[in-house]
């Protein structure tokens, strides 16, 4: 995959690093000269010191050959301009951070996949980790939800319940869905409606928003 990333801040740099580690080609566009220089030293990738408004920058980045363009700056105007230019290139897949939720529809009208206020999502999740450090492998999803894994302890209210009953009643109803059950390192099963949970099950959970302590207690207490 050939990926162009606008903005080399924490999100853009992390995305570039992960894409490179998976063998993809990455071009970074960064307006700040010092940051662009640091990224050029850090990554085996093309780093262009430029603003998205600079004429011809997408041509220089090779947008005509790109599979995806991701805008990660904290400036919605710059991100939106990038999406308009990338769409016209044309780039097939467009993704952007939207810092102000009121701007969301402007991006969606262009066919852009949006991530609303990622810093707020991550900070909420990190605070949750302070309350529940046993949550493992948590991933912030583009829709703003979370996917994570958690083990059921003997006192967990979910022990003996089915996926269907957990989805219909109790603290998780309407807030989270259990999609996978891992009962050993090598054995995992899809969480069917009649799947019954047991002590020690490691459950993969999709939550539409960060869960509070009341919801997390469904998985049992931790010492």
When the candidates are 3.30.420.10, 1.10.1840.10, 3.30.70.20, 3.30.70.1450, the CATH number that belongs to 121-219 is: 3.30.70.1450
- On whether the CB atoms of residues 32 and 73 are closer than 8 A, the answer is no
- In this prediction, residue 223 has a pLDDT band, given cuts at 50, 70 and 90, of low
% of the chain surpassing 70 pLDDT: 84
Q: Is the pLDDT of residue 199 over 60?
A: yes
CA separation for the pair 104, 114 (Å, rounded):
7
Across the range 172-192, mean pLDDT stands at 79
Measured between alpha carbons, how far is 211 from 31 in angstroms, rounded to an integer? 37
* pLDDT interval class at 115 (50, 70, 90): confident
Q: What is 2-116's CATH number?
A: 3.40.50.720
Dist. CA 75–CA 58, nearest whole Å = 18
Instruction: Work out the pLDDT band at 114, boundaries 50, 70, 90.
Output: confident
Instruction: Extract long-range pairs of 117-123: CB within 8 Å, 24+ residues apart.
Output: 118/11, 121/210
Question: How many residues can be counted in the chain?
Answer: 223
Q: What is the pLDDT of residues 125-163, one digit of tens each?
A: 555 555 555 566 566 665 556 778 888 999 999 999 998
When computed from its CA atoms, the radius of gyration of the chain, rounded to whole angstroms, is: 21
Please tell me the predicted confidence (pLDDT) of residue 174. 84
Segment 18-59, tens digit of pLDDT: 899 999 999 999 999 999 999 999 999 999 999 999 889 999
Q: From CA 57, how far away is CA 1, in angstroms rounded?
A: 20
CA 208 centroid distance within chain: 12
Sketch the domain layout of the chain as residue ranges. Answer: 2-116, 121-219
Q: Are strands 146-151 and 136-140 parallel, antiparallel or unpaired?
A: antiparallel
Q: What are phi and psi of 169, to 5 degrees?
A: -145, 150
The three-class DSSP label of residue 63 is helix
Give the residue-averaged pLDDT of 106-128. 74
> What's the CA gap between 44 and 172, in Å, rounded?
44
Calculate mean pLDDT across residues 161-171: 87
Instruction: Give the DSSP letter of residue 209.
Output: S
Check residue 144 and give left, alpha or beta (phi > 0: left; psi -120 to 50: alpha). left
- What pLDDT does residue 207 have? 82
- Alpha helical stretches, state H, the chain: 10-21, 33-42, 57-61, 76-88, 104-108, 118-131, 163-168, 213-216
Query: With pLDDT > 90 as the criterion, what percentage of the chain qualifies?
Result: 46
Q: How confident is the model over 61-100, as pLDDT tens digits?
A: 999 999 999 999 999 999 999 999 999 999 999 999 998 8
Which of these, 141, 212, 218, lies nearest to 178 by C-alpha position?
A: 218
- Whether residue 39 contacts residue 56, with contact meaning beta carbons closer than 8 Å, is answered with no
> Does a cis peptide bond (omega within 30 degrees of 0) precede residue 220?
no
Task: Give the pLDDT confidence score for residue 83 in this predicted structure.
Answer: 96
Q: What is the pTM of this model?
A: 0.61
């Amino acid at each position: 995959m050939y990926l162009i990333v606008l903005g080399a801040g924490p999100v853009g740099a992390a995305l570039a690093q992960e894409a490179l580690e998976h063998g993809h080609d990455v071009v970074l566009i960064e307006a700040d000269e010092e940051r662009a220089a640091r990224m050029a030293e850090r990554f085996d990738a093309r780093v262009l010191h430029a603003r998205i408004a600079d004429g011809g920058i997408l041509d220089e980045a090779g947008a005509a050959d790109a599979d995806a363009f991701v805008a990660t700056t904290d400036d919605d105007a710059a991100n939106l301009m990038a999406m308009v230019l990338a769409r016209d290139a044309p780039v097939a897949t467009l993704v952007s951070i939207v810092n102000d939720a009121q701007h969301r529809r402007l991006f969606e009208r262009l066919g852009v996949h949006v991530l609303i206020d990622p810093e707020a999502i991550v900070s909420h999740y990190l605070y949750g980790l302070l309350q529940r450090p046993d949550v493992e492998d948590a991933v912030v999803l583009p829709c703003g939800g979370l996917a994570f894994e958690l083990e059921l302890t003997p006192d967990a209210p979910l022990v003996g319940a089915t996926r269907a009953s957990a989805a219909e009643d109790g603290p998780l109803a309407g807030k989270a869905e259990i999609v996978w059950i891992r009962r050993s390192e090598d054995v995992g099963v899809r969480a069917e409606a009649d799947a019954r949970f047991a002590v020690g099950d490691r459950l993969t959970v999709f939550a539409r928003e960060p869960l509070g302590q009341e919801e997390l207690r469904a998985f049992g207490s931790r010492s």
